[in-house]
Amino acid sequence: MSEKKTTHFGYQTVDAAEKQGKVAEVFHSVAAKYDVMNDLMSFGIHRLWKRFTMEFTGVRKGDSVLDIAGGTGDLTMKFSDLVGPEGKVVLADINDSMLKVGRDRLLDKGYSGNIECVQANAECLPFEDNSFDVVTMAFGLRNVTDKDQALREFNRVLKPGGRLLVLEFSKTNNPLLKKAYDLYSFTALPFMGKLITNDSESYRYLAESIRMHPGQDELKAMFENAGFANCEYHNLTGGIVALHKGIKP
């Protein structure tokens, strides 16, 4: 008899097949107030982390960019400005609620023409091989069931020389910061979630999923295993967040 494949959903161990549905529930629940919550929870610092990511993309006019797990489209907007009318940006997210919020926000801000919105699973991307100059994923990888498969897919859709940038919560080595961060994550975050979205469980999952996500060096090794070269990472805010970068050879 074959054993069922399991994975983490926060601190719980669940069937791999179940995780996608559970993550989808979380994001359906928070989609409408996702941006407000991001600003509140990170005190607006998530914008600086994303700004740092943009600097490393090296995107130019005419490039094609995939913003996977792009959610409400804040990176997509910046990419759209940089690639210009001759370039292309694909805003992709597995969750239709998040994608709808992102698409509406883009249209409200006057972004159209060089942007496509696609509902896609990072583990099986509906794009041809070698089709993007840059792939970015900001705060999405920890929600993916099979992270290695997702990284292999990013490698497949990138053009040779193309860059993958993954911005994700990571591990801090500073014991004081770790203590304060843990206290904040497991008390303040669920409380804020309850207050604003009337859903503390989703924000408890957020804190737990961050703890279960691979650390800096482990994720770098996963990049290398997926076929990326010149892999590197940069810690931000004492390692609370890290930006990983790899180049498709």
Partner 1 sequence: MDQTLIQGALASAQSIINQALRYDAATAQKLAALAPKVLAIEITQPATTIYVQFGDQLRLMAHHKGDVQARLQGDLQAFINLASTQDKHAALMKSDIQIQGSSQLAMGLADAMSDLDIDFEAMLSQLTGPVVAHVVGKNLRRLSGWLKSSSEKLKQDTVEYVRDELQLAPHKLEGESRFTDIHKLKLDSERLEARINRLAIHLNKPK
Contact between 86 and partner 1 by CB under 8 A: the answer reads: no
Is 36 or 48 the residue whose CB approaches partner 1 more closely? 48
Is 65 or 101 the residue whose CB approaches partner 1 more closely? 65
Question: What Rg, from alpha-carbon coordinates, does the chain have?
Answer: 17
Contact between 60 and partner 1 by CB under 8 A: the answer reads: yes
Residues forming beta bridges with residue 92, ordered by sequence position: 68, 118
Between CA 87 and CA 76 the distance in angstroms is 12
Between CA 221 and CA 224 the distance in angstroms is 5
Residues in region 100-119 near partner 1 by CB under 8 A: none
Three-class secondary structure of residue 111 per DSSP: coil
DSSP 167-197: EEE-----HHHHHHHHHIIIIIHHHHHHHHH
Closest approach of partner 1 to the CB of residue 77, in Å? 13
Return the residue of 4, 21, 36, 58 that touches partner 1, per CB under 8 A. 58
Contact between 159 and partner 1 by CB under 8 A: the answer reads: no
Return the residue of 11, 17, 21, 47 that touches partner 1, per CB under 8 A. 47
Between CA 225 and CA 244 the distance in angstroms is 14
Number of residues lying near partner 1 (CB under 8 A): 16
DSSP tag of 236:
E
Contact between 178 and partner 1 by CB under 8 A: the answer reads: no
From residue 225 to residue 244, the character string flagging contacts with partner 1 as x (rule: CB under 8 A) and all else as - is ---------xxxxx------
Between CA 214 and CA 208 the distance in angstroms is 12
Mode of pairing for the β-strands spanning 241-247 and 229-236: antiparallel
DSSP tag of 32:
G
Return the residue of 9, 27, 34, 49 that touches partner 1, per CB under 8 A. 49
Closest approach of partner 1 to the CB of residue 223, in Å? 18
Is 27 or 49 the residue whose CB approaches partner 1 more closely? 49
Q: Which residues bind partner 1 (CB under 8 A)?
A: 45, 47-49, 51-52, 55-56, 58, 60-61, 234-238
